[in-house]
Structure 1
Amino acid sequence: MIRVLIADDQALLRGSFRVLVDSVPELTAVAEAGTGAEAVALARQHLPDVVLMDVRMPEMDGIEATRQICADHRTASTRVLILTTFDLDEYVYGALRAGASGFLLKDTPPADLLTAIAVVAGGEGLLAPTVTRRLIAEFARRPAPGRPLARQLTGVTEREREVLTLIAYGLSNTEIAERLVLSMATVKTHVGRLLTKLHARDRAQLVIIAYETGLISPSRHRS
């Protein structure tokens, strides 16, 4: 059973998301939050698997709430899925840096939202091809100014660097396997080792690490 916390300042949307989540036997909505502060408190209380997080909320916005949830050892296993109105909303990039596992538009079809919850709960970041490539390109153009590198790539092998580079370009595991002529099992092993070595929560965080450590630069991405 995947436990979901819904955080949105609009009661009607919260209710709609709850009905949708509870319509699937494998999912259950454990609580609703109307502010970022409530989202943090309820996450610590209920320890959900996934938080559906709105960005713009009173008292504390979704970015800060995401940062607090992802940084707290009590909610270390909780994944945050950002819901936003705009696919290139600048706030999304701050949320990804804060530890969010991905994002969806609020007008995403219900079936896709339910699939996304399951994907994120399974430890996969919702940074995959299609929309992802646009996200990565925009993210590359908006680096955090003056931000010190939080992680280095010490201990990462050359093959793992290749895999990380392709992840940062937005390639799926299947595409990486084809590009490097590897089996899917081998690619998954490399991705798992990268997550462990770089202390990354999921694929979304690997993309950010690739940019923030300088492995990928905006100019290289455009080329």
Structure 2
Amino acid sequence: MRAELRAEGHVVGRCALRSWLHRNGLRALSTRPQRPRTTVADPAAVVAENRLLGQPAPTAPDQVWVGDITYLPLAGGRWCYLATWRDTCSRRVVGWHLAAQMPTELVLFALEQALTLRQPAPGLIIHADRGSQYTSAACRARISTAGAVASFSRPGNPYDNAQAEAGWSTLKTELLPGGSPVASLEEARLEVAHYLDTYFNLDRRHSALGYRSPHQFEQDLKSNLP
């Protein structure tokens, strides 16, 4: 657009053009999709150290959970947001919640589901990035009252939460073939429920688990207990 204006003899900079569009309620069309940002840190938040650094991998379920948020496209250019908590030993999604916005309640609802269903013993490490939902006082308080230990990624280091983020590409590829949007928030909830609770946890084979599903992996661990 700026090039076209200049060709017509108008001298205009990128920032001035952007400001003019904004004042008039317009925006330039782009072939590059505008994607939501799911991690916004609160610089004033008190966070814990990364308690996973230098630690051996967990040997049983409910020793370490990792959390993250992703987005799913809805029809009409809208988005919805999915928060999950995953067990790092079995890869099971132990809790999830999907909503049209991503306040702290998004991760808290998913965490409450996980705590209710799994009833973990005290000492569970609950790890996430430094997004404001996770570092909020409400989230840290719920982790504490559950007898769990909070852990957060180091600043600017996405690899610290790699396992929580690793499943998003697979989920979107299998749940949204071709990247096609879901018709509505209600339909998205139904699709995600079936994918995570039935297919992913019960049936989907993971190479890291010896090509077993999370459910089968946990059952095998229980059967091998003395």
TM above 0.5, yes or no, is no
Q: Which has the higher contact order (CA 8 A, sep 6+)?
A: 2
If each structure's helix is expressed as a fraction of its own residues, which one has the higher value? 1
TM-score (norm 2): 0.26
> Which protein has the larger Cα radius of gyration, Structure 1 or Structure 2?
2
